[in-house]
Amino acid sequence: MKKTYVKGLAAVLLMAVAGPVLADNAGPSMTDKPTEAASQMPLGEQVYTTTCQECHMPNAMGAEGAGRYPALAKNPKLAAKQYPMVMVVNGSKAMPSFARQLDADEIAAVVNYVRTHFGNNYKDKVTAAEVKAVLPKTGPYEGH
Which residues form the interface with other proteins (CB under 8 A)? 1-6, 9-10, 12-14, 16-17, 22-23, 25-28, 30, 32, 34, 49-51, 53-55, 57-58, 63-69, 91-97, 101, 140-144
Burial of residue 139, with CB atoms counted within 10 A of its CB: 0-12 exposed, 13-18 middle, 19 or more buried: middle
CB closer to other proteins out of 59 and 82: 59
| Residue spans of beta strands (DSSP E) within the chain | 63-64, 68-69
Cβ atoms of 48 and 114 within 8 Å: the answer is yes
Least distance to other proteins, CB of residue 123, Å? 28
Least distance to other proteins, CB of residue 4, Å? 5
CB closer to other proteins out of 45 and 130: 45
| Nearest CA among 51, 31, 33 for reference residue 110 | 51
Query: Which amino acid is it at 36?
Result: E
CB closer to other proteins out of 39 and 54: 54
